[in-house]
Each structure stands twice: as C-alpha cells, then as structure tokens.
Structure 1
Amino acid sequence: MKKLIFYIVLLMTFAVKADPSAIPSSGVIKRFEDFHSEFISSRTIDVWLPEDYSYDQKYDVLYMHDGNMLFDSSDTWNNQEWKVDEAAAKLMKEGKVRPFIVVGIWNAGKKRYPEYFPEKVYRELSLLDRTIIKTRLAFQSKSFAPIGDFFYGDNYVRFLANEVVPFIEKNFNVHSGPAHRFVGGSSMGGLMSWYALLERPDVFGGAIAMSTHWPGMYDVDNPFPKGFEDYIRKNINKLDGHKVYFDLGDQTLDAVYPPLQKRIDAIFAASYPNDLWKTEFFPGHKHDEVSWASRIHLPLMFMFGNEEQE
C-alpha cells in the first residue's frame, strides 16, 4: 500500500517547470505563455507543427494534456518525455497517418488532479461517499490543491472546447469539426480524455486514454471505479462514429489497472462497434513517459491512420 500511495502522489504532482524554449527533435513548437481562460488558471500551450507544415493544406489536431511532458525531456520533472514529435513525424513521413498538429496543454501542477477528474462522476456519488472522499483528499492536501468542492473537471472541458479549440482554429491552418479533433492523455489525463469526449462529442471525434487511472484516488476500494463505469454506461450512447483507444501496462501504478480496465472493456464490448474502440495490453510496461513513448504510435495510427495503409 505504501508503494501504491507513492505512485499516486507522483501522478498528482507532475510539476510544471518554466521552459522558455522547448526544443523538439522534429518540427517546430509555437509557444503561447499565460494563455488566459475564463474557466481555469492561465497556463502555457505548446503547438507542435510538422517540419513541412504548410498553409497550402489543412491539418487534423490532437489536443493533449500534460503538454509540458510531450516534447523535450531536458526540462521535465523526471527527464522523460512522450516523444510525440518523433512518433508523429515518422508516421507522417511513412504516409501511415493523415497530417496533423499537436496542441500540448500544460498541466497546472498541484491543480492537476482536480482539473483532470471527471467531475460529474463525483457529483453523482452519495453525500456519504463525497464526504468520505473529501476527508481522504484533505489528508493529502499537500500533494495537490483542492478548491471549493475539490473537483472542477467540467471547467477544464469548457476551457478545451470553448477557448483552446477556437483559438487553434483561428490561428492555424486546421480542419474544423469533430471528425478532425482528438483529445489524449495518460493516467489522470486518460480519465479526462474519455470524459471530455463523452461530455463534448460535438467537439471531439476521438479519445486516447493511456494507462487510465481507473482507481481515481489512492486506493482501489473506493466508489470511483464503479462511478466511472456508471457514467460511461449512461453516456456511451452519445458516441456515433467516435474512436476510443485505451491501453495499459502491468508494472508500477499500472499494476492495479488490468481488472478495472476489463470492466470498462465489457461496457464497450456490449454497447459500441468493435472497430471504433480498442484496448491494448503491454506486459512489462510501467506508468511512465518511457513506456508511453514506446507505444504512442499505436493510438496515433488508430486515430489518424490512412485507411489504405492499415
């Protein structure tokens, strides 16, 4: 249990470090610091463009959480990165995916946990369960920054849909419409990815949820896993042609995910076309950027793949 709590503390406290010039291995990053929001605190947004980015064509867009962990390991809290730029550039060069750009939205440090949490799941719990959870989370208040009633993931979704998406579509040569917009992340970012899709299927066409943190908090024996299942079961009928990608490992924090992911898989298997969702399992993979980087090409191909190449 101590080891599990250690890893939960890590996932709650991915630090945001000031980085004046992230340097991708491929392509170019356009940085927007102190991006103002009416819904959440201001933050940095990085927009990765492929080397051959051109105003003569339009691009799809992948909106990713934990944007400060995606492109440059020299300035991340653990000296790891997703290597999204390398993976995306390679796939485009090989003609395996449609051209797309990546919008990396930095997390808010100690506010990361309450921002990325599917808020309606918490709101729909009983008063007793909410009280117990608030007491547990207050005990960990040094690890993150609860505000008000602890969770405000709905405001984060509003930030994405009402502010970030319009900004990108005004300033970059991209397609509009949900068929060309996707959202992705890992751990708590995995929770927020499928939640944003189910909350706003009119905005996003697919979700990448890697190493999704299905326990929701520091122990598995809490009401959140069932709450996630109930929410997905209730809202999955909103999806129509949308794509959903899950994956997981079985080491470090990922070790607690397999039985919980199977319960989610059962909901999708019973309610959604098999060709529009998938779950990939990677034995030996850990809950870290090294593992996610080694397999990020798979969800990218699932979301952006050219049919003739598949």
Structure 2
Amino acid sequence: MKQLLFVFLIASFSFAQSKIESYPLSNTEKFEGSIERIENFPTKFISPRTVDIWLPSNYSKEKKYSVLYMHDGQMLFDASSTWNKQEWKVDEVASQLMQENKVHDFIVVAIWNIPNLRHMDLYPNMPYQLLSKETQEKIQVEVKKSQFPFDDKKINSDNYLKFIVEEVKPFIDKNYSVYTDANHTAVMGSSMGGLISMYAICEYPNVYGKAACLSTHWVGFRDFENNPIPESFFAYMMENLPNAATHKIYFDYGTETLDASYLKYEYRVDEVLQSKGFNQNNYKNLKFEGENHSEASWQKRIDIPFLFLFGK
C-alpha cells in the first residue's frame, strides 16, 4: 500500500489541445497505485461529473494497458468518502492480481454518479421503449412507491453512453498508454451499473468486447406483481446481444436483501445467453449464497470478474 497523490485536472481544458494543469493534493487514505481526477469532465451529453483514472503502481508509458470503464466511481476506492463507508477496493484487488501475474495489466476509468440523476442516467432506454404506453404508465405508479427518483421522460442512458464513448474514451486513448480496440476494453458495474454495462456492450459491440454486471437490477425499481420490466430487458438482449464468438459477458447475484428479488429471473439470463451462442468459455452467471446488495458483498468477489475480463 502506498500514499495516494490525487491529481486534480482542471475541467476547462480543450480536448483539441489537451492542455492540462495539475495540482497535487495529499490524502490520508492509503491506496495501491495512483489516481488522476478530472472534476466536471467537459461534456455536451449529460450533466458534468467527476472521472477518476486509476493507474497501477507499475504504470509505464513504455507498454500498453487494457481499460476497464466502471460506473458509480465514488464507491470504488475510498470508503472514508462514501455514503455507507463501504468500497469495492478496486485498487487493492486489481494490484494484487497484477502482482501475482494472474491478469493482464489494466487501468480503471471510474465515472462518478450524480445521485438524483442516477436512475435516469443508467436505466437502459431501448428496453423501456419496447413497453407499451399502458405498461409504462403502470410502471410509473410503481415508481412512486419506490425510493428512486425517476422520470421516464428524462431517461438519459443513451447520452450517458455517448459521454463515455465519444468524450471520455477518446481522452483516455489520447492521454494514456492503452490499447484502444474492443478486445482490450471492458465495462463493469453493479445494480443499475449492471444494467447499463449490459446495455453498453449491446449498443457498442465495436467499443466494448467484455462486460461484467454484478447484482444486475433486473426489476428496474422495486419488484411488484406481474412486473414487465425484466422481460423487456431479456427481449432487448435477444435482439441485441453481441457476437458470442468475439465477446464475453459476466453476470452474478446474491441471495439476500435486494438481490433476493432477482432469483426468479436468473434462469432467463441463462436461457437468453445460451440461445445466442454464449457458453462456459465466454459467459458466467454466478450465484453467491448469503451475499447481499452492497459494496461489501461485491468487494468480496470482484477478483472473479477481474479474472474473467483480463485473466491470463
């Protein structure tokens, strides 16, 4: 473990010139590797937000790295600043796997969420549009019973993905020593982040060759009787999953708290993926008995998707 030196990058830079001023700021949390932070990343697609770029301790411009794009970036590295004092420990786990030579070297691009926009940013738009107006109205009644702020007229996931693909990725490709092809580019998240990761690999199969979706929130909001949302996701996947010969997809789920509501839908995940040609070599859908819907649970098992995405 070593002291982290945050590098805050001024958000008013020009993409064309890529002129960046950096300001060092010491931090009391201990990290593996280092993080470079861009606050209010410039964008024409969504509300600006922080983007962290994690680099392993051996990062060198003399070699190339794969890239993992992760959602809910503020939850990944530093429990002292998260709302629930939990974190994924991405830096520690990724560093250990690299040091043990179990995975190819990779960097992590961590995109922060904006809490009151999170559901609109991460809810896949096209599956929602598959639903009839009558069904959408029924869902809006159920939404009001949940804690999630959601206006279906403001679903912004298509623009959120454009932000990553058209703005963040070109910046990463230009400023870091990384592979730029789909085979070396992955996307990963949990809950709503699982949904948007599934959506990303379907919408941009030429950008993302791999996706990891933990505790994917198939119910959309809260589960309710005759919930049409999960089947809308599966219908979308049937039509849009990428070529199984060139792509890899990881899913998993626990059995407690919110994850318990996913159990009755997991057989459909397997059915859809297998019908599209995915097999034990390029897809997983793993059950973790007794695990719940939290960063603490995801932290326990993130080595498994890391190995699936980048394993040697």
Name which of 43, 47, 50 aligns with 1:41.
47
Cα deviation 1:106-136 (Å, max 9, x = unaligned): 0011100111101001111101011222343
Match of 1:46, SS state, is: strand
- Alpha-carbon distance in 1 for matches of 2:181, 2:131: 33
- What amino acid does structure 1 have at the position aligned with 2:115? G
186, 209, 215: which one pairs with 1:205? 209
Q: CA deviation at 1:239?
A: 4.8
Aligned match of 1:269: 274
Structure 1 vs Structure 2: percent identity of aligned residues? 44
CA RMSD of aligned residues (A): 1.8
The match for 1:231 is: 236
**1:182-240 CA-partner distances (Å, limit 9, x unpaired):** 00000000000011100000111111000000111212432111101100011125554
Mapped pair 1:77 → 2:69 = no
For 1:49 and 1:292, locate their aligned partners in 2 and report how far apart those are by CA, in whole Å.
21
**Which AA in structure 2 matches 1:54?**
S
For residue 241 of structure 2, give the secondary structure of its aligned residue in structure 1: helix
Q: Contact 1:23 / 1:29 at 8 angstroms: preserved in 2?
A: no
Q: Retained in 2: the 8 A contact 1:214–1:261?
A: no
Alignment size in residue pairs? 286
Distance 2:150 2:272 in 1: 33
- Post-superposition shift, 1:145? 5.3
Query: What's the secondary structure of 1:34's corresponding residue?
Result: coil
Per the normalisation by structure 1, the TM-score is: 0.88
* Residue 218 to residue 20, structure 1, CA distance change in 2 (3 Å): farther
Q: Which residue in 2 is equivalent to 1:298? A: 304
* RCO comparison, higher one (Cα < 8 Å, 6+): 1
Once residues 201 and 220 of structure 1 are traced to their aligned partners in structure 2, the CA distance between those partners, rounded to angstroms, is: 32
Structure 2 gap segments, 5+ residues each: 1-24
Cα distance in 1 between the residues matched to 2:197 and 2:94: 19
Report which of the two has the higher share of helix: 1
CA distance in 2, matches of 1:31, 1:236: 33
1:177 aligns with 2:197: no
Q: Which has the larger share of strand?
A: 2
Paired residue type of 2:149: F
Match of 2:99 in 1: 93
Cα shift at 1:143: 4.2
Residue type matched to 2:187 in 1? V
Contact in 1 for aligned 2:64/2:178 (Cα 8 Å):
yes
SS of the residue 1:31 aligns to: strand
Deviation at 1:137, TM superposition (A): 2.9
Structure 2 equivalent of residue 120 of structure 1: 126
Deviations 1:54-84 (A, max 9, x none): 0110100000000000000000000000011
CA distance in 1, matches of 2:126, 2:298: 28
- Cα offset for 1:282? 0.6
Change over 3 Å in CA distance of 1:139–1:291 after alignment to 2: closer
Question: How far apart in 2 are the matches of 1:22 and 1:200?
Answer: 39
For structure 1, the residue ranges without an aligned partner over 5 or more in a row are: 1-18
SS of the aligned residue for 2:137 comes to helix
Instruction: Say yes or no: does 1:248 pair with 2:253.
Output: yes
Deviation at 1:35? 0.5
Q: Higher mean Cα deviation, 19-28 or 161-170?
A: 19-28
Matched with 1:260 is 265
| Cα distance in 1 between the residues matched to 2:232 and 2:28 | 38
For 1:74 and 1:236, locate their aligned partners in 2 and report how far apart those are by CA, in whole Å: 38
